[in-house]
Structure 1
Amino acid sequence: MINSKQRAYLKGLANKLNPSLQIGKEGLTENILKELDIQLEQKELIKISVLENSPVLVDEVVEDILSSTQAEFVQKIGSKLVIYRESKENKKIQL
């Protein structure tokens, strides 16, 4: 569990990130969850964009993503959300 100071630090890092994954008209699929898992292991901090044509809303998809990937919620701004999970092999972010 990350605390408020760590969350603020991660928000600052996420400012510079472009969305590395998009959830589109197919919604949250098994392939997207696998890709999320891979990206979290490589990058630790990722930004996800939920497109307008997606059948799911950002608020609905957050819990599914967090429970499936064991990641931490950092922030949600509009249709974008940022999640963090400490990498086992490629630790880059020091909290």
Structure 2
Amino acid sequence: MLSEPQKRNLRRLGHRLRPVVILGQAGLSAGVRAELERAFADHELVKVRINAADRAARAALLAAILEATRAELVQRIGHVALLYRRNPERPRIDPDAGPRSHS
């Protein structure tokens, strides 16, 4: 479970990201799951766009994604969700690391 400071740091890192996976009317298909797994293995921090008609459908699809991928929700704004799942073999992102100083 991510703490609020960790989520804040991950939001900062995810701000510049573009959605890697876009879910349409087909929902959470096997192909989408495979693409999510590949994205988490490569990046750990993944931005997803959910093109569902209403808020309840987006929330249900997001819950299904979180359950299927074992990822954690960092932030959700409208149709876009920022998700994090640590890669145990090759961790790339330290959620506890604060902003770097550029001296």
Deviations 1:46-92 (A, max 9, x none): 000112569x8321111111111111111111100010000123311
The structure number with the bigger radius of gyration is 2
Deviations 1:25-62 (A, max 9, x none): 211212111211111111000000112569x8321111
Q: Secondary structure at 1:22's aligned position in 2? A: strand
Distance in 1 separating the partners of 2:36 and 2:84:
11
Using the aligned pairs only, state the percent identity.
29
Structure 1: gaps spanning 5 or more residues: none
Report the residue type matching 2:72 in the other structure: E
Structure 1 equivalent of residue 100 of structure 2: none
Structure 1 outlier segments of 4+, above 3 Å: none
**When the two structures are aligned, how many residues end up with a matched partner?**
94
Does the 8 A contact of 2:52 with 2:58 survive in 1? Answer: no
- Aligned-CA RMSD value: 1.8
Distance in 2 separating the partners of 1:52 and 1:65:
14
Structure 2: gaps spanning 5 or more residues: 96-103
TM-score, normalised with respect to structure 2: 0.83
